[in-house]
Amino acid sequence: MSAKLDDLLLNDRGFAFDAVDGESYQLSPTALQLVRWMQAGDLEEAVLLDRLMDSYEVDEHTARRDLDSFLSTARELGWS
């Protein structure tokens, strides 16, 4: 896990705060869950994709689209 992702403090309403650089973010419910899974050590895309499909009962295409969008943003922010 990246140090930046590990440093994020989360609340149940989707607020994320990076105590190191003082940045704050508002996450969608799906993004919040993805960050929590990643902080718990689930970093492989295949695992995250399966978890999205199972947890939200969506098809692979929908889960892949959401995951790709999230991971793109996470890379831009230095979270992955």
Q: Give the tens place of pLDDT for each residue, 9-65.
A: 999 999 999 988 899 999 999 999 999 999 999 889 999 999 999 999 999 999 999
Residue 3 confidence (pLDDT): 64
Residue 63 lies in domain: 3-77
CA distance 32 to 6: 13
Q: Please give the tally of structural domains in the chain.
A: 1
Do the beta carbons of residue 15 and residue 4 sit within 8 Å? no
pLDDT on residue 19 = 87
pTM of the model: 0.91
Q: Which residues, listed in sequence order, are joined to residue 77 by a DSSP beta bridge? A: none
H or E element in which residue 70 lies: helix 60-77
Q: 3-state DSSP call for residue 9? A: strand
Residue 2 has pLDDT above 70, yes or no: no
